[in-house]
Amino acid sequence: MSINKLKKTLLKAHRGSQKQISSLSDQVAGDWYTKLKIQPIDYCMQNNLNACQTKVIKYATRCLIKNKDKKTRKEDIDKAIHCLTMLKDYVDKDVV
């Protein structure tokens, strides 16, 4: 099986599983996540990511698609960096 065919098959299977969860097809106050092939929350849940990792994925994903102005984009990037710093602190304390 070619790489492209495999990618299409996996994406189709993923979309099928995503459609089973009806709440993923709706979004309160916006539509930037529902336009994505894989929503950040779906990716994070399926990969058992912790809260810090999940927030990094969320902020990094939305910083360029949700926000149009540079200031707000930078705020989302700063939020992602802050979450990474918190995760690093937890690693330093052997919590994770």
pLDDT per residue as tens digits for the range 25-69: 655 556 666 778 888 888 999 999 999 999 999 999 989 887 788
Highest mean pLDDT among 3-7, 32-36, 37-41, 79-83: 79-83
- The residue count of the chain comes to 96
Q: How many CB atoms lie within 10 A of CB 92?
A: 9
Dig out the tokens for 50 from the structure: 């912790």
- Residue range(s) defining the domain that contains residue 19: 3-92
Measured at the CA of 19, the angle between CA 48 and CA 63, to 5 degrees, comes to 60
Number of domains in the chain: 1
Dig out the tokens for 36 from the structure: 């994505």
pTM of the predicted protein model: 0.68
> What pLDDT sits at residue 6?
63
Q: What percent of the chain is predicted at pLDDT more than 70?
A: 68
Buried-state track 1-19, b at ≥16 Cβ within 10 A, e below 16: eeeeeeeeeeeeeeeeeee
- What does the alpha-carbon distance between residue 82 and residue 10 come to, in Å, rounded to a whole number? 33
